[in-house]
Structure 1
Amino acid sequence: MRFLPTYDLMESIRNTNQWLGATAHSMANYPAFSLVPNPMLQWMAAWGEVTERSFERMVAKPDWGIRSMTCNDGKDHLVDIKKVVERPFGDLIHFDVMGREEQERKILLVAPMSGHYATLLRSTVVSLLPDAEVYITDWHNARDIPVSEGKFDIEDYTLYLVDFMKELGTDYNVIAVCQPAPLALAATAYLADVAPEAKPNTLTLIGGPIDPGAAPTEVTDFGHSVTMGQLEEMMIQRVGLKYKGIGRAVYPGLLQLSSFISMNADKHSKAFSDQIFRVMREEASDHDHHNRFYDEYLAVMDMTAEFYLSTVERIFQNHEIAKNEFVVAGHKVDIGKISKVAVKTVEGENDDISAPGQCVAALDLCTGLPDEMKASHLEPGAGHYGIFAGSSWRNNIRPLVLEFIDANKGGAKTAKPKAKAKSPALKAV
Structure 2
Amino acid sequence: MRYMATYDLMETARNTNQWLGATARAFGSYPATGLAPTPAFKMMAAWGEVMERSFARMVAKPDWNITCVVGEDGRDHTVSTVPVVTRAFGDLLKFDVHGRNPMPRKVLLVAPMSGHYATLLRSTVISLLPDCDVYITDWHNARDIPVSEGKFDVEDYTLYLADFMEELGSDLNVIAVCQPAPLTLAAAALLAEKNPEAQPATMTLIGGPIDPDAAATDVTDFGRRITMGQLEKVAVQRVGFNHVGAGRLVYPGLLQLSSFMSMNADRHGEAFFNQIVRVAKGEASDHDFHNKFYDEYLAVMDMTAEFYLSTVERIFKNLEIAQNRFVVDGHMVDIGKITDIAVKIVEGEKDDISAPGQCLAALDLLTGLPDSKKAAHLEPGAGHYGIFAGKSWRNNIRPLVLEFIDANTRPAPETAQGLRSV
* Separation of aligned partners in 2, 1:361 and 1:289: 36
Q: Hey, what does 1:89 align to over in structure 2?
A: 89
SS in 2 for 1:124: helix
Cα drift, residue 36 of structure 1: 2.0
In structure 2, the residue matched to 1:111 is 111
| 2:170–2:410 contact (8 Å) kept in structure 1 | no
Shift of residue 126, structure 1, vs aligned partner: 0.4
Q: CA deviation at 1:123?
A: 0.3
Aligned to 1:273: 273
Q: Deviations over 1:374-426 (max 9, x none)?
A: 01111111111000012110000000000000011149xxxxxxxxxxxxxxx
One-letter code aligned to 2:323 = K
What does 1:143-158 correspond to in 2, within 5 Å? 143-158=143-158
Deviations 1:163-204 (A, max 9, x none): 101100221100000000000000000000000000000000
Partner of 1:4: 4
1:340 aligned partner: 340
Percent identity reads 74
**C-alpha distance in 2, partners of 1:38/1:65?**
40
1:132-281 → structure 2 map (5 Å cutoff): 132-281=132-281
Alignment of 1:279-358 (within 5 A): 279-358=279-358
C-alpha distance in structure 2 between counterparts of 1:37 and 1:61, whole Å: 41
TM-score by length of 2: 0.97
The Cα shift of 1:74 comes to: 1.3
Output the aligned Cα RMSD: 0.8
Q: 2:314 & 2:7 partners in 1: Cα distance?
A: 26
Secondary structure in 2 aligned to 1:45?
helix
Deviations 1:82-102 (A, max 9, x none): 000000000000001000111
- Aligned position for 1:359: 359
> Displacement, 1:69?
1.3
- Is 1:79 aligned to 2:79, yes or no? yes
Aligned with 2:130: secondary structure?
A: helix
- Cα deviation, 1:78-126, whole Å, max 9, x if unaligned, reads 1121000000000000001000111010000000000000000000000
**What is the correspondence of 1:35-50 to structure 2 with a 5 Å cutoff?**
35-50=35-50
Count of aligned pairs between the two proteins: 411
Residue identity in the other structure for 1:253: G
**Alignment partners' CA distance in 1, 2:37 and 2:54:** 26
C-alpha separation between the residues in 1 aligned to 2:320 and 2:204?
20
| SS, match of residue 311 in structure 1 | helix
CA contact (8 A) 2:189 2:335 kept: yes
The aligned amino acid for 2:66 is I
Q: Which AA in structure 2 matches 1:91?
A: D
Secondary structure of the equivalent of 1:368? coil
* CA distance in structure 1 between the partners assigned to 2:17 and 2:284 by the alignment: 21
Per the alignment, residue 32 of structure 1 pairs with 32
Q: Which amino acid aligns with 2:127?
A: S
SS of equivalent to 2:6: helix
1:391 has 2:391 as partner: yes
Instruction: Name the residue aligned to 2:130.
Output: 130
Q: What does residue 52 of structure 1 align with?
A: 52
Alignment partners' CA distance in 2, 1:404 and 1:2: 47
Amino acid at match of 1:17: N
Q: How far apart are the structure 1 equivalents of 2:381 and 2:14? A: 35
Structure 1: give runs of 5+ residues left out of the alignment: 412-429
Deviations 1:99-154 (A, max 9, x none): 01110100000000000000000000000000000000000000000000000000
CA distance in 2, matches of 1:341, 1:400: 17
TM-score (norm 1): 0.95
Paired AA for residue 200 in structure 2: P
**Aligned-partner SS, 2:59:** coil
In the TM superposition, what is the alpha-carbon distance from 1:57 to its structure 2 partner? 0.1
What is the SS of the residue equivalent to 2:129?
helix
User: Which residue of 2 is the match for residue 419 of structure 1?
Assistant: none
| Aligned match of 2:420 | none
Alignment deviations for residues 193-228 of structure 1 (CA, whole Å, 9 cap, x no partner) = 000000000000000000000001111111111111
> Does the residue aligned with 2:404 lie in a helix, a strand or coil?
helix
Q: Which residue of 1 aligns with 2:419?
A: none
AA matched with 1:194: K
Superposed counterparts of 1:14-33, under 5 Å: 14-33=14-33
CA shift for structure 1 position 281: 1.2
**2: CA distance between counterparts of 1:403 and 1:82?**
27
Q: Secondary structure at the match of 2:10?
A: helix
Q: Partner residue of 1:414?
A: none
